[in-house]
Amino acid sequence: MKPVQVGLLGIGTVGSGVFNVLSRNQEEIQRRAGRGIEITMVADLDTARAEAIVGGRCKVVKDAREVLANPDIDIVIELIGGYGIARQLMLEAIDRGKHVVTANKALLAVHGTEIFEAAHRKGVMVAFEAAVAGGIPIIKALREGLTANRIEWIAGIINGTTNFILSEMRDKGLDFDAALKDAQKLGYAEADPTFDIEGVDAAHKATIMSAIAFGIRVQFDKAYVEGITKLAAQDIRYAEQLGYRIKLLGITKRTDQGIELRVHPALVPARRLIANVEGAMNAVLVQADAVGTTLYYGKGAGSEPTASAVIADLVDITRLHTADAAHRVPHLAFQPDQMSDQQVLPMSEVVTSYYLRVRVADQAGVLAKIAGLLANAGISIDAMIQREAGEGEKQTDLILLTHTVREGTMNEVLAQMQALPTVLAPITRIRKEELA
């Protein structure tokens, strides 16, 4: 049988991994797919670099639209990234009746509804396993493996850069700036790490998982996003003393009021498996009604781990592209006419528990005033540490863990606490997730 012909747009870190893994494992992949899969055209602005990678094994062009115009190309792999030209090329490929594989989580999180609707109209597939958690097959698990389940919540460490930084802060006692510099020196962080450290990258991925888990449209604009730049080494130490570790989590949860969709640092009990995911590794925890808790762990980035997911999508499309479009796995797991209109909750309506670090004057009655404000709002204290002031010191840290409360209520209480004359610095608030 004639091999499936693939056009590759962008042959950078991931693209070169796709080309090399597909070439190296061609025989094994063909045995799984039922026919050969060949990259026959590559488009990249740096044609010299592209030629060096492909070594004359396929045609290299500078203009991506040459690939789209080739009637022999069955599948287009989009690895350009970003929202601009990548979106245009993907929609053009779909309009020409070509299937698309992409690792572009940012594009899908922001424009996924438009893209999936276009693909549905044309009867083609858009596959995106590589868009979330690199080589971990979490999209396939959510769309297919857990299809019998009512998914209750997902919590994931889905950005390796921030997890590496937090591991360095914990292991070496570094502050955030020093840990970031280490990450950049070792290649775990980009020269401009904003998308990673501010939580945007994780929010893109959480948005996609939320849509698949709950059958809602992608709604990145509704996500609450908070990064790790304000975390202090002392908070990581205090969390350890209390039996917790701090992780940047992407969380999405089904509630009676709506869907939670949020990314922020969180205290996680040290006994949880996900709390022990260190370095640049990723992990996703899924809670579902029938199977219970499942954990997916592995490399969330890198050339060949991400290529593994891209090629898995190529194999899926190769197997299914001759099937009736109505009988394929829907892009977001639920049939397009069965999508839910459940709303994403504003952060003020989310109910969770909290870690508070309050810098206070070392004098009598301070704790009583703070505890009184919490009690008046119906907020219970779960645990507390009061650091003894050193000799000659006139201020100290008061550490509180609370039971669950609505975020809007906590915001009001924090404003009241901050106004106390005995509170000497901005209060640090980190959410706490038991993940039970």
Write down the H helix ranges in 34-152. 47-54, 64-69, 85-95, 105-122, 138-140
3-state secondary structure of 334: coil
3-state secondary structure of 255: coil
pLDDT of residue 225: 98
pLDDT-derived band of residue 326, with 50, 70 and 90 as boundaries?
Answer: confident
pLDDT of residue 388: 78
CA dihedral 390, 395, 399, 404 (to 10 degrees): 170
Pairing outcome for strands 405-406 and 351-361 = antiparallel
Closest by Cα among 318, 329, 354 to 116? 329
∠ CA 414-419-422, rounded to 5°: 105
Per the structure block, which two tokens stand in for 393? 């010191």
pLDDT of residue 283: 98
Greatest alpha-carbon pair distance for the chain in Å reads 83
- Residue 89 and residue 15: Cα distance in Å, rounded? 16
The one catalytic residue among 2, 62, 181, 205: 205
Segment 135-150 mean pLDDT? 97
- Catalytic-residue membership of 205: yes
Domains annotated for the chain, with CATH where assigned, are: 4-135+303-338 (3.40.50.720), 138-299 (3.30.360.10), 351-432 (3.30.70.260)
Q: Residue 321 pLDDT > 90, yes or no?
A: no
Q: Residue 49 pLDDT > 80, yes or no?
A: yes
Per the structure block, which two tokens stand in for 399? 């550490």
pLDDT of residue 45: 96
CA distances from 28 to 24, 31, 315 (A): 9, 5, 11
∠ CA 278-284-289, rounded to 5°: 140
Strand ranges for 106-258 from DSSP E:
126-127, 151-157, 224-225, 244-254
pLDDT-derived band of residue 324, with 50, 70 and 90 as boundaries?
Answer: confident
Check residue 4 and report its DSSP letter. E
Check residue 346 and report its DSSP letter. P
Write down the H helix ranges in 232-283. 233-241
Which residues are bridge partners to 153 per DSSP?
253, 287
